[in-house]
Structure 1
Amino acid sequence: MAHIINRLKKRGLSLISGAVLVALSALLTIRLGPSGLTDFSFFFFGFDPVYFYILGLVLGGERIVFGLTGSERVFRIIAGDGVMYYYSIMIIVMILAVAGIYIMALSFVTFSSTTFRLLDILDGLAFLASAVTVWMR
């Protein structure tokens, strides 16, 4: 019984973090537009957060699929299936964690409104929650 409860918690956390990640990444991608140069974010290490938002759309969609179905097929398409599977899981966790920390740090550097700073922080937390759910495999 405990295994079923843990599985449901994992799927629920995946579903919630994926939905938040997709919604906020889509909103922030639309806000920044294709250039992303409107809020001087290009000064922070030369990276534009739009690339992380697009990554959030893809991996958030995968977390939604996993949360609804419990199937890991989409993740195995992204991560690969073979000898290096567990290394790719670690790499995806590190990419999600770095993206979350980067987006949260970027929200304090940019000249945007308080609302979008809060959305950036929530998006960064969604990235970190997604990293935790991927690590829980």
Structure 2
Amino acid sequence: MHITTIVKAWALAAVMFAATPAAAEIRIIQSPGGQVGTFLDLFEKVRESGERVVIDGPCLSACTLVLSIVPGERICVTKRAALGFHAARSVDRRGRFYAEPEASEAVLQAYPGPVRDWISRHGGLTSRLLVLKGRDLAAIFSRCR
């Protein structure tokens, strides 16, 4: 898939990011998350493209699935990077959220070991947002050059 197509897909997912074709990278500038399926499809395409992912701002909720799909050696973080994790949840027909414990466990197990360990040390996946940033994040992922 060409980088322009990926950019359009990100825009449809309500994600702010930038693509630098010359550097063959995807830069996540800000993502509040969204529907899991959209992110899974997108990150599969990014993985297949061979492009590097630069996390350069908040990557929250479903956006963190990038860690499960794109190889870790192709992910780097800047000083502005922050990863936000919470338990999986769905919305019923009335617009009410409800917990999805099996999905939460599946997502947790898909994250790289050091991320799983960090989440566990900070109380696990719950309705509360856990934010991984700064030194803790730099201890897990390489800094972008």
Higher relative contact order (CA 8 A, sep 6+): 1
Under a length normalisation based on structure 1, what TM-score does the superposition of the two structures give? 0.27
| Structure with the bigger percentage of helix | 1
Under a length normalisation based on structure 2, what TM-score does the superposition of the two structures give? 0.26
Larger Rg: 1
